[in-house]
Amino acid sequence: MAVTEEIYELVRLLDEEGFGQLAGELLSDLNVGRLETEHEDGRSDPEIDSDEDDDRPSPSVPFEPDEQLPEAVRFLHLRLVEPARRLVEAERIAAELSGYAEVRIRFGDEDQVSGDQEGLRAPPGDDSLVNALEKAVNRLINPAH
């Protein structure tokens, strides 16, 4: 699969910022392509799925160059923005349920989290950094905004 220069630049940036695994997953996702929804015989995937005698996997179609960046942005929304938004929402709910003003949800071993990393997060329940991340990801497609 040939990827565009924009995708190479995005992968390089993700890798430099410590998201090398995510960059690899993005390339893998783009390499797989999208599932073809119509087949040569005119049947759609749901019709094929209902055929018990047809065990063929649905073929995938490579992303065209002009589809790669929008697909990458969709991938980043699903893998970065939405999980961060759900974490903020979970912190808000946890605070409401516990009666505390703030509840910080952490993943991983406390001994492995340095004090420097704590400054990279907004206060519990604050979605300002998530909103900034979402705007940054959206600017990949619409640089003028």
The DSSP secondary-structure symbol of 77 reads I
Helix (H) or strand (E) holding 34: strand 34-35
What is the C-alpha to C-alpha distance for residues 130 and 86, in angstroms, rounded to an integer? 10
**How far apart are the C-alpha atoms of 121 and 130, rounded to whole Å?**
10
| 3-state SS class at 133 | helix
Q: Are residues 103 and 70 in the same domain?
A: yes
The pLDDT of residue 124 is 87
Task: Based on the fold, state whether residues 40 and 107 are members of the same structural domain.
Answer: no
d(CA 102, CA 131): 19
What residues contact 65, with CB distance under 8 A and at least 6 apart? Answer: 2, 4
Q: What pLDDT was estimated at residue 70? A: 96
Residue 13 lies in a domain: yes
Q: Which residue has the higher pLDDT, 60 or 15?
A: 15
What's the pTM value of the predicted model, to 2 decimals?
0.73
Assess whether pLDDT exceeds 70 at residue 119.
Answer: no
Q: Residue 42: inside a domain, yes or no?
A: yes
Q: Are 85 and 130 in contact (CB under 8 A)?
A: yes
Q: Is residue 91 part of a domain?
A: yes
Q: Is the pLDDT of residue 22 over 90?
A: yes
Residues 68 and 11 occupy one common structural domain = yes
Same domain, 76 and 92: yes
Domain that holds residue 39: 33-62
What the block records as the tokens of 45 is 């995937």
Residue 81 in any domain: the answer is yes
